[in-house]
């Protein structure tokens, strides 16, 4: 992620210079009925996207997604309302642009030269690598020459150009396209064993592996490629381009882009197949008995986050005990339990109530300058290594010209608390900062898996219920994707 931060700075400088150069000439400065003027006159920024946890997703907490939050901020920058249209395929999104039903596409799309013949691309906001994916347990191909089976990609995707380039070196390479399934759908097909191979982007794959752990990466099919928005190409109209450049320059300079990158991508990390499979199995076998308690005592955080914390602490084992004497689902010390009126640390309800109460106290104790949506990560670091050591990490961050109120900045300094040349100058001395860093990152990954896995279970149940209603009570329920020919 360090390289991305450097890119943000360079992108911001370049965008600002280009925006200044374009300013006197672009129509949006004059308001002459160009793309930007039409958006402002309409009072709406119309955005088309694919539904996924990374780009756009409906949730009980409201709309979420990296692209959604960026697009919402862009709409606010323009002073208009954001209107989002969800699609299931890439081609249908571009149809919206062709028929002027959308002003732009915001859906984690890779920069592609072929697309530039008909559309324009906005600034880069992160980068990905295209990767070949297969199912865990099958033979791993080392190159396109080793492909033995069905390879499918979505129509309209940048993956087609990648395969066309690969076929010049590997003339026997064959593949098919589908206009019915999105890249995400095809990744699910591979995980389910219904398709041998597909191409996906590295970020989406890494996120989906938290829910579909049998997805395995064979090899990188491309180098790093920028991810960008797309919008209509209109002769002599740079209005929307100039506005985007200025917007991305601002959010690069003020740290907003880095904060969003940390929120959605900063905790992706390395993938552990065995650990993820074990966790997903525990969701089915152990969580149902504890879920009512997490929902009851979660207080000011999502219950699924509280459940992820508990799993990191004890793997949801009420009898768990560490060599240092902490015990229970939330692994409370005897002293902490006493202060929280927890008489029996091995009682699941008492432990969860006490752990949630203590975590809430830590969040309330955080400096008010820390943004509300990041206070939980600081509190978790304090939960793991102590409040004083968390303050030391903030102090180190400030000393090194970072932002002590930004979790993205502070977490980078946590491992320094292990090193004498740093902790010798702190107030509270040595701390297991690397452990605290891994602790928070693991919790965020467990939360990602838990949220995604529960959503998939709910979706499958809804599909089965819909099929049952269509087929009638006398017919057996089959897998929804099989019934739909997927």
* Extents of the domains making up the chain: 273-442
CA pair distance 159, 105, nearest whole angstrom: 17
The two structure tokens encoding residue 93: 């999104």
Which residue's structure tokens are 């898996």?
Answer: 449
Which residue of the set 124, 191, 262, 313 is catalytic?
313
Structure confidence at residue 473 (pLDDT): 59
Rounded-to-integer distance, Cα 406 and Cα 5, Å: 14
Other Cβ atoms within 10 Å of 182 Cβ, number: 23
Q: Give me the architecture of the 273-442 domain, per CATH.
A: Orthogonal Bundle (1.10)
Tokens 């200044």 label which residue? 20
Cα atoms found within 13 Å of the Cα of residue 46, Cβ hemisphere only? 16
| pLDDT computed for residue 53 by the predictor | 77
What are the tokens at 96?
A: 């919206």
pLDDT at position 100: 93
d(Cα 433, Cα 427) in Å, to the nearest integer? 14
Half-sphere exposure of 486 (CA within 13 A, CB side): 18
The residues of the chain scoring below 50 in pLDDT are 1-6, 8, 23-32, 480-486
- The predicted structure's pLDDT at residue 235: 87
What is the structure's pLDDT at 51? 84
What pLDDT was estimated at residue 333?
92
Q: Tens digits of per-residue pLDDT, 6-54?
A: 454 555 555 555 555 554 444 444 444 699 999 999 999 999 999 887 8
Q: Is 153 helix (H, G, I), strand (E, B) or coil?
A: strand
Which is it for strands 81-87 and 130-135: parallel, antiparallel or unpaired? unpaired
Residue 26: the pLDDT is 45
313 is catalytic: yes
- The predicted pLDDT at position 63 comes to 76
- Residue 476 has a pLDDT of 55
């Amino acid at each position: 992620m360090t390289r991305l931060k450097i890119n943000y700075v360079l992108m911001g400088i370049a965008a600002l210079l280009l925006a200044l150069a374009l300013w006197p000439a672009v129509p949006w400065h004059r308001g002459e009925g160009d793309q930007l003027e039409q958006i402002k006159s309409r009072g709406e920024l119309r955005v088309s996207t694919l539904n996924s946890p990374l780009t756009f997703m409906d949730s009980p907490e409201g709309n979420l997604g990296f692209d959604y939050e960026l697009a919402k901020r862009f709409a606010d920058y323009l002073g208009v309302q954001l209107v989002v249209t969800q699609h299931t395929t890439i081609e249908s999104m571009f149809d919206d642009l062709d028929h002027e039903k959308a002003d732009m596409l915001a859906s984690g799309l890779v920069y592609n030269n072929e697309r530039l013949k008909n559309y324009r691309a906005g600034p880069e906001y992160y980068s990905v690598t295209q990767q070949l994916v297969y199912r865990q347990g099958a033979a791993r191909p080392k190159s396109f020459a080793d492909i033995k089976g069905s390879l499918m990609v979505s129509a309209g995707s940048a993956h087609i150009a990648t395969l066309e380039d690969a076929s010049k070196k590997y003339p026997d390479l064959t593949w098919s396209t589908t206009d019915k399934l999105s890249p995400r759908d095809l990744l699910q097909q591979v995980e389910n064993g219904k398709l041998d191979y597909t191409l996906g982007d590295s970020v989406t794959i890494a996120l989906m592996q938290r829910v579909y752990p049998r997805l395995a990466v064979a090899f990188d099919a491309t180098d790093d490629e920028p991810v960008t928005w797309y919008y209509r190409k209109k002769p002599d109209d740079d209005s929307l381009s100039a506005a985007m450049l200025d917007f991305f320059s601002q959010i690069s300079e003020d740290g907003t882009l880095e904060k969003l990158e940390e929120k959605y991508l900063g905790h992706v990390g390395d993938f552990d197949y065995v650990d993820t499979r074990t966790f997903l199995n525990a969701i089915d076998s152990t969580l149902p008995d504890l879920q009512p308690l997490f929902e009851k005592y979660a207080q000011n955080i999502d219950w699924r986050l509280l459940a992820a914390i508990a799993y990191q602490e004890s793997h949801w084992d009420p009898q768990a005990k560490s060599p240092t004497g902490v015990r229970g689902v939330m692994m409370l010390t005897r002293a902490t339990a006493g202060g929280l009126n927890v008489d029996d640390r091995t009682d699941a309800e008492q432990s969860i109530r006490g752990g949630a109460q203590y975590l809430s106290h830590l969040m309330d104790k955080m400096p008010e300058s820390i943004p509300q949506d990041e206070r939980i990560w600081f509190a978790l670091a304090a939960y793991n290594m102590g409040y004083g050591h968390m303050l030391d990490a903030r102090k180190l961050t400030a000393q090194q010209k970072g932002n002590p109120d930004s979790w993205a900045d502070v977490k980078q300094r946590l491992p320094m608390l292990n090193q004498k040349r740093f902790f010798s100058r702190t107030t509270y001395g040595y701390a297991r900062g690397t452990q605290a860093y891994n602790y928070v990152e693991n919790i965020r990954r467990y939360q990602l898996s838990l949220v995604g896995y529960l959503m998939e279970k709910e979706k499958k149940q809804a599909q089965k219920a819909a099929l049952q209603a269509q087929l009638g009570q006398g017919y057996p329920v089959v897998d929804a994707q099989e019934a739909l020919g997927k």
